[in-house]
């Protein structure tokens, strides 16, 4: 299927004669076999088939295959959340004593996972500015560096990652670039086309798109040659004693080694699988992703332009505005639009932000972004409320920042809502 809109609707699952048109929900923990020998071959990864849903499930696999097609990868895996996806994507390459270079402009939950929880596991992160020069990037690497991580569009600071430059830096040091592509989705940006090696998603956001199911995904481009860097990645290139002495690159090849290892080791041991029912809902969302993204981007552009022209608004951050710092990068990597999230501050600062948000009727206040419904959040008073103003600035969250996730309602209603709320500030 060559066109992405067709892949959104039909990818990942092709019913045979007489089979259901929609992906079936295989809500079963386990699968029946006639003999123990049949089962043994599955456990040894010598035959493919299902035996226990913690490891694999047909509904989950159909939906993973669709997301794999959308990103243009060779193998993919669904997880129970975006947090699990980012943890697995990195932990599949690292052990205690290893090091990762990460953009500092990332979702706060991911930052905490890296800087606090994974640090406790003995994995060290060096955070670099997404605007770091090549020299600054090179200086962040260490002999034990295993990966580079960033977000295509960072949440909530909305910085755009220069994917080609980050990929080149990672490859100069023999490691893959992992990108969280949650905000643009593969409709607006496919990082593999720019040199990225592994993509992750919080499918909770635009992919599900209707605020129904928390989920995540990891997709491998199949382009990173693990064997060429066998000394850096022994977990993929030498026998896994915890899995019958399998060498993943030898048995599954460059295209499937990374995801197979992730399933065989991390799903087996941590068990962060989505329920088949959630994967079914995710797929229903994916079927209209191409249409929804278009509308999110159109509406967000209109909101950003409206705010930018309003004297009560102190600043607007949206890379679709020509005056934005990241306009050129956005045009390069996402010429058809970036995402539906706009952030801004009011002339009246923090207090005005609260008054403004209270007045909104169409856009609800919610700790969420990127679904069909417009919503907004004042991070300094919600997700980041434990931080001082100085700490907020350091992580790219201005104290007066309103994060506005523009939905797919009629733009007249969204702009009318904003216009009305601005009257009280
Ligand atoms: N990555 C990004 C860019 C996010 O915005 C989020 C959540 O907001 C996550 C990852 C974590 O995903 P989840 O909430 O599905 O665990």
Mean pLDDT is lowest, of 35-49, 69-83, 161-175, 214-228, for 35-49
Q: Look at residue 380 in the predicted model and tell me its pLDDT.
A: 86
Mean pLDDT is lowest, of 69-73, 177-181, 382-386, 397-401, for 382-386
- Ligand 1 geometric centre to CA of 107 (Å): 7
Q: Which of 156, 158, 202, 203 most suits a substitution to test ligand 1, by most atoms within 8 Å of the C-beta?
A: 202
Please indicate, yes or no, whether residues 280 and 294 belong to a single structural domain of this protein: no
Last residue of a domain, one of 284, 315, 349: 284
Please indicate, yes or no, whether residues 189 and 253 belong to a single structural domain of this protein: yes
At 233, is the pLDDT very low, low, confident or very high (cuts 50, 70, 90)? very high
Written as six digits, the tokens of 153 are 């569009």
Whether 392 shows a pLDDT value over 80: the answer reads: no
Q: Which of 67, 109, 206 most suits a substitution to test ligand 1, by most atoms within 8 Å of the C-beta?
A: 109
End-to-end CA distance of the chain: 51
In the predicted model, what is the mean pLDDT of residues 15-26? 97
At 363, is the pLDDT very low, low, confident or very high (cuts 50, 70, 90)? very high
Establish how many alpha carbons lie within 13 A of residue 267's alpha carbon, considering only the half-sphere containing its beta carbon: 25
In the predicted model, what is the mean pLDDT of residues 191-208? 98
* Strands lying side by side in the sheet with 75-79: 75-79, 216-220, 198-202, 177-180, 145-151, 99-103, 124-128
Q: Look at residue 290 in the predicted model and tell me its pLDDT.
A: 98
Q: Which of 159, 160, 205 most suits a substitution to test ligand 1, by most atoms within 8 Å of the C-beta?
A: 205
What is the Cα–Cα distance from 324 to 326, expressed in whole angstroms?
Answer: 5
In the predicted model, what is the mean pLDDT of residues 189-209? 98
Asked if 58 contacts 12 with a C-beta cutoff of 8 angstroms, the reply is no
Q: Look at residue 261 in the predicted model and tell me its pLDDT.
A: 98
Q: Look at residue 4 in the predicted model and tell me its pLDDT.
A: 97
∠ CA 80-162-235, rounded to 5°: 50
Establish how many alpha carbons lie within 13 A of residue 263's alpha carbon, considering only the half-sphere containing its beta carbon: 26
Sign of CA dihedral 39, 42, 48, 50: positive
- Ligand 1 geometric centre to CA of 106 (Å): 10
- Ligand 1 geometric centre to CA of 318 (Å): 20
Q: Which of 73, 149, 75 is nearest to 111 (CA)?
A: 149
For residue 310, the domain's CATH number is: 3.90.1150.10
What is the Cα–Cα distance from 319 to 337, expressed in whole angstroms?
Answer: 9
Please indicate, yes or no, whether residues 274 and 398 belong to a single structural domain of this protein: no
**Segments forming the whole domain that contains residue 343:** 289-422
Please indicate, yes or no, whether residues 298 and 248 belong to a single structural domain of this protein: no
Q: Look at residue 79 in the predicted model and tell me its pLDDT.
A: 98
Please indicate, yes or no, whether residues 331 and 305 belong to a single structural domain of this protein: yes
Q: Return the percentage of the chain with pLDDT > 90, whole number.
A: 90
Q: Look at residue 143 in the predicted model and tell me its pLDDT.
A: 98
Q: Look at residue 186 in the predicted model and tell me its pLDDT.
A: 98
> Whole-model pTM?
0.97
At 45, is the pLDDT very low, low, confident or very high (cuts 50, 70, 90)? confident
Last residue of a domain, one of 258, 284, 310: 284
Q: Which of 78, 111, 155 most suits a substitution to test ligand 1, by most atoms within 8 Å of the C-beta?
A: 155
Whether 387 shows a pLDDT value over 80: the answer reads: no
Q: Look at residue 46 in the predicted model and tell me its pLDDT.
A: 82
Q: Look at residue 383 in the predicted model and tell me its pLDDT.
A: 80
Please indicate, yes or no, whether residues 247 and 379 belong to a single structural domain of this protein: no
Q: Look at residue 386 in the predicted model and tell me its pLDDT.
A: 77
Asked if 126 contacts 175 with a C-beta cutoff of 8 angstroms, the reply is no
What is the Cα–Cα distance from 229 to 68, expressed in whole angstroms?
Answer: 25
Written as six digits, the tokens of 37 are 């020998």
Write the pLDDT tens digit of every residue in 60-78.
999 999 999 999 999 999 9
Q: How many domains does the chain have?
A: 2
- Ligand 1 geometric centre to CA of 243 (Å): 31
Please indicate, yes or no, whether residues 261 and 133 belong to a single structural domain of this protein: yes
In the predicted model, what is the mean pLDDT of residues 366-384? 91
Q: Which of 392, 356, 395 is nearest to 377 (CA)?
A: 356
Q: Which of 69, 59, 61, 50 is nearest to 23 (CA)?
A: 59
CA separation, residue 204 to residues 25, 137, 157, 283 (Å) = 19, 31, 19, 12
CA separation, residue 155 to residues 39, 42, 230 (Å) = 44, 40, 34
For residue 249, the domain's CATH number is: 3.40.640.10
Of all protein residues, the one whose alpha carbon is nearest to atom 1 of ligand 1 is 202
- Ligand 1 geometric centre to CA of 41 (Å): 37
Q: State the CB neighbour count (10 A cutoff) for residue 62.
A: 21
- Ligand 1 geometric centre to CA of 290 (Å): 20
- Ligand 1 geometric centre to CA of 313 (Å): 28
Mean pLDDT is lowest, of 132-141, 227-236, 305-314, 361-370, for 361-370
SS3 percent helix, strand, coil of the chain, rounded to 5, is 40, 15, 45
- Ligand 1 geometric centre to CA of 82 (Å): 5
Asked if 195 contacts 163 with a C-beta cutoff of 8 angstroms, the reply is yes
Whether 167 shows a pLDDT value over 80: the answer reads: yes
Written as six digits, the tokens of 142 are 């260490």
∠ CA 205-361-382, rounded to 5°: 55
Write the pLDDT tens digit of every residue in 90-120.
999 999 999 999 999 999 899 999 999 999 9
Whether 1 shows a pLDDT value over 80: the answer reads: no
What is the Cα–Cα distance from 368 to 375, expressed in whole angstroms?
Answer: 7
Please indicate, yes or no, whether residues 214 and 326 belong to a single structural domain of this protein: no
Please indicate, yes or no, whether residues 46 and 149 belong to a single structural domain of this protein: yes
Q: Which of 117, 158, 180, 182 most suits a substitution to test ligand 1, by most atoms within 8 Å of the C-beta?
A: 182
Whether 48 shows a pLDDT value over 90: the answer reads: no
Of all protein residues, the one whose alpha carbon is nearest to atom 11 of ligand 1 is 82
Q: State the CB neighbour count (10 A cutoff) for residue 374.
A: 25
Please indicate, yes or no, whether residues 316 and 384 belong to a single structural domain of this protein: yes
Whether 366 shows a pLDDT value over 80: the answer reads: yes
At 388, is the pLDDT very low, low, confident or very high (cuts 50, 70, 90)? confident
Most confident region among 2-6, 169-173, 350-354 by mean pLDDT = 169-173
What is the Cα–Cα distance from 340 to 300, expressed in whole angstroms?
Answer: 5
Last residue of a domain, one of 239, 265, 284: 284
At 2, is the pLDDT very low, low, confident or very high (cuts 50, 70, 90)? confident
Whether 243 shows a pLDDT value over 90: the answer reads: no
- Ligand 1 geometric centre to CA of 101 (Å): 19
- Ligand 1 geometric centre to CA of 218 (Å): 13
Asked if 5 contacts 336 with a C-beta cutoff of 8 angstroms, the reply is no
What is the Cα–Cα distance from 101 to 417, expressed in whole angstroms?
Answer: 42
Q: Which amino acids bring their CB within 6 angstroms of ligand 1?
A: 81-83, 86, 107, 109-110, 151, 155, 180, 182, 202, 204, 214, 216
Q: Which of 67, 82, 88, 73 is nearest to 256 (CA)?
A: 73
What is the Cα–Cα distance from 247 to 237, expressed in whole angstroms?
Answer: 6
Q: Which ligand 1 atom lies nearest to the CA of residue 368?
A: 8
In the predicted model, what is the mean pLDDT of residues 168-188? 98
Please indicate, yes or no, whether residues 224 and 299 belong to a single structural domain of this protein: no
Please indicate, yes or no, whether residues 297 and 278 belong to a single structural domain of this protein: no
At 155, is the pLDDT very low, low, confident or very high (cuts 50, 70, 90)? very high
């Amino acid at each position: 299927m060559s066109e992405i809109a067709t892949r959104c609707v039909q990818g990942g699952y092709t019913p045979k004669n007489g089979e259901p048109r929609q992906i079936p929900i295989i809500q079963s923990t386990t699968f029946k076999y006639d003999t123990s020998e049949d089962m043994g071959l599955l456990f040894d990864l010598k035959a493919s088939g299902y035996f226990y849903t913690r490891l694999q499930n047909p509904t989950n696999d159909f939906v993973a295959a669709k997301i794999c097609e959308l990103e243009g990868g060779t193998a993919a895996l669904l997880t129970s959340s975006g947090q699990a996806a980012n943890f697995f994507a990195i932990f599949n390459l690292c052990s205690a004593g290893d090091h990762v270079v990460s953009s500092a402009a990332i979702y706060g939950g991911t930052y905490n996972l890296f800087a606090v929880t994974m640090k406790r596991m003995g994995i060290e992160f060096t955070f670099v500015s997404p605007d770091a020069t090549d020299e600054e990037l090179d200086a962040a690497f260490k002999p034990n560096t295993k990966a580079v991580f960033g977000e295509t569009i960072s949440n909530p600071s909305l910085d755009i990652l220069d994917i080609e430059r980050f990929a080149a830096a990672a490859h100069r040091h023999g490691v893959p670039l992992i990108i969280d592509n949650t905000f643009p989705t593969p409709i607006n940006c496919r990082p593999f086309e720019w040199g990225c090696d592994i993509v992750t998603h919080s499918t909770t956001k635009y992919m599900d798109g209707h605020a129904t199911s928390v989920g995540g995904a990891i997709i491998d481009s199949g382009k990173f040659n693990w064997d060429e860097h066998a000394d850096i990645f022994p977990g993929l290139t030498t026998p896994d004693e915890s899995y019958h002495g399998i060498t993943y690159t030898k048995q599954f090849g460059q295209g499937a080694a990374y995801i197979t290892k992730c399933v065989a080791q991390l799903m087996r041991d941590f068990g962060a699988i989505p329920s088949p029912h959630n994967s079914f809902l995710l797929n229903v969302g994916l079927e209209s992703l191409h249409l929804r993204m278009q509308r999110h981007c159109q509406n967000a552009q209109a909101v950003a332009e409206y705010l930018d022209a309003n004297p009560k608004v102190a600043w607007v951050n949206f890379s679709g505005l020509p005056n934005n710092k990241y306009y050129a990068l956005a045009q390069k990597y996402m010429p058809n639009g970036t995402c539906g999230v706009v952030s801004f501050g009011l002339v009246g600062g923090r207090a005005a932000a609260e008054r403004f948000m209270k007045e909104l009727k169409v856009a609800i206040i919610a700790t969420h972004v990127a679904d069909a419904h417009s919503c907004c959040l004042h991070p300094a008073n919600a997700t980041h409320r434990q931080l001082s103003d100085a700490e907020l600035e350091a992580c790219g969250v201005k104290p007066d920042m309103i994060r506005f996730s523009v939905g797919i309602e009629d733009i007249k209603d969204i702009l009318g809502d904003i216009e009305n709320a601005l009257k009280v500030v």
